[in-house]
Amino acid sequence: MAAGTFHGFPPFDEDELRHLVTNLGDIAVKPEDVLQETHADQLFTTETLLQLITESSHKRIITSHQGAGTLGISSFWKASRHLDTANATALPIFIFLAVPESIVGVREAWRCILCTLISEISSHITCVPPEKLKESGIWGGQFSQKYFQLDGPSEYEEGTSDEEGDSIDALIDLLLALQHCDYQFYSEPGESSSGLLPIEHPFIVVADRLGRFSCDAGEGYRACFDQAVDATVLGKMGGKIFYIEEEG
């Protein structure tokens, strides 16, 4: 991924990030829009979910049976909504990456995944260092239009160059560059709890069956997505990611 130099564009700062996230939010997918209507026996209880989070390393694959569809992530999501009743000492912050079944195109799917993840993690950013972002090839202003270009070829597909990359390439570059930002994952105690330390919340990403979009044309996207997640979500943010995949 080439950093490049783009003179004439303003630096990418907190204001630029807020403006960009507003637009990316129109593409991002809320889990309830995909998972609300999934009806099945729960695979996770609040207790088993907390145990899974506590005992897992930064990255883990969770298998569901062949043909389960959204059952795996839906069960995870529904259990997470009841964690506030599970006497958890630090309630996790969850991001669910669930692609609607109506989306079957590889680029469309990765665009949905990336816009959702970037929008969600950006709400926890407290400082954007323009110089560091510039060094990573991220600028503001009209430069941000590249995140919404759907029809260009990918730099990860044979026969294309860095300059021809589409919005997926650009979004992956942005996710990778966000490792240079500062994040906050704690909440202040209420007024009645004066004197107590802030409550830190573990950060958990749950991704639904990314293997569907990781073959052939999506193979390059997946490899670079994993690199960006490792650097930003796991490395800088200290989070965890659970990949839910069907067995077989």
| pLDDT given for residue 154 in this prediction | 45
161-181: average pLDDT: 83
Residue 152 lies in a domain: yes
- For residue 223, pLDDT over 60 is answered with yes
- Residue type at position 48: T
In a domain, 2, yes or no: no
Query: Tell me: the pLDDT tens digits for 107-147?
Result: 999 999 999 999 999 999 999 999 999 999 999 999 988 99
Pick the residue with more confidence: 73 or 191?
A: 73
Note whether residue 67 is domain-resident: yes
Q: Tell me the C-alpha distance between 74 and 31, whole Å.
A: 8
Q: Secondary structure of the chain in the HEC alphabet?
A: CCCCCCCCCCECCHHHHHHHHHHHCCCCCCHHHHHCCCCCCCCCCHHHHHHHHHHCCCEEEEEECCCCCCHHHHHHHHHHCCHHHCCCCCCCEEEEECCCCCCCCHHHHHHHHHHHHHHHHHCCEEECCHHHHHHCCCECHHHHHHHHCCCCCCCCCCCCCHHHCCHHHHHHHHHHHHHHCEECCEECCCHHHCCCCCEECCEEEEEECHHHHCCHHHHHHHHHHHHHHHHHHHHHCCCEEEEEEECC
> What is the maximum alpha-carbon separation in the chain?
62
Predicted local confidence at residue 160, as pLDDT: 38
- Residue 198: domain span: 14-246
Total domains, the chain: 1
Of 54-63, 107-116, 203-212, the least confident: 54-63
* Contact predicate 131/181, CB 8 Å: no
pLDDT of the residue at 50 = 86
**pTM, whole model, 2 decimals?**
0.86
Closest CA to 222 of 177, 179, 168, 170: 168
**Residue 6 counted as domain residue:** no
232 versus 187: the higher-pLDDT residue is: 232
- Whether 121 is covered by a domain: the verdict is yes
Residue 30, both tokens: 């809320």
Is residue 5 in a domain? no
